[in-house]
Amino acid sequence: MRRFLILFEELPIDVVSVKSGQNGPEVVTACRCVNVGLFVSGNLRRNVEVSLAVGKPDNLGVVTFPGSALKRVSPDERSISFFLLKAMNVFRELPLGGKKKLDNGIVVQRTNVKDLLQGWEPSRIYVSFLDPSIQPKQVDVRPQGLFLYELTSTALTDLIKKIPENLLPRPPHPERFILDINMYCDQL
């Protein structure tokens, strides 16, 4: 399984913005990540999951769009943002450690980083590194693993111990990171 985890410090989303199609930049980015990560011409990538995480490492809201189980979500921003809004409303009601699968296959959970990573048991963690002064070594990228992109902070990256062997170049936008990884893995 190839998993993308995109960490947002905030993901402000509300009914008015979603209905009017006037989503904020964070929501637009989140929708593009789901679109680029899962949708291919006329189908879904069944071996990919895109997870959007919001919050701090000790209290994350994670919304996962699993390609293998996703139903009734189309690749347009309005559809994705509607389901993201629904998922974020579920997240607000969950206790720490809580998890719920929505009827369309989206999984919502409130967790901490340690439990999240243990639950996923990634074979390898790849990190798009924020510090441009450090150049990543040549990395043996495999199609399975967890691919991490943090938008602004490095709070999650700093907690992962395997970083030096799995640093990846960091494009300016997470959707480009996802696109590049999917294109590379499709050629393997």
Share of the chain above pLDDT 70, in %: 88
If 0-12 CB within 10 Å is exposed, 13-18 middle and 19+ buried, where does residue 2 land?
buried
Domains of the chain as residue ranges with CATH: 2-186 (3.40.1280.10)
Q: What is the pLDDT of residue 166?
A: 78
**Distance between start and end Cα atoms, the chain:** 14
Q: What is the pLDDT of residue 125?
A: 84
Pairing of strands 107-111, 59-66: antiparallel
Q: What is the pLDDT of residue 135?
A: 60
Residues comprising the chain, all counted:
188
Say which residue the tokens 């997870």 belong to. 51
Q: What is the pLDDT of residue 171?
A: 87
At 55-65, the pLDDT tens digits run 888 899 999 99
Please identify every stretch of the chain with a pLDDT value under 50, giving residue numbers as ranges: 162-163
Strand, coil or helix: 69: coil
CA dihedral 139, 143, 145, 149 (to 10 degrees): 70
Q: What is the pLDDT of residue 159?
A: 60
Q: How far apart are CA 101 and CA 119, in angstroms?
A: 15
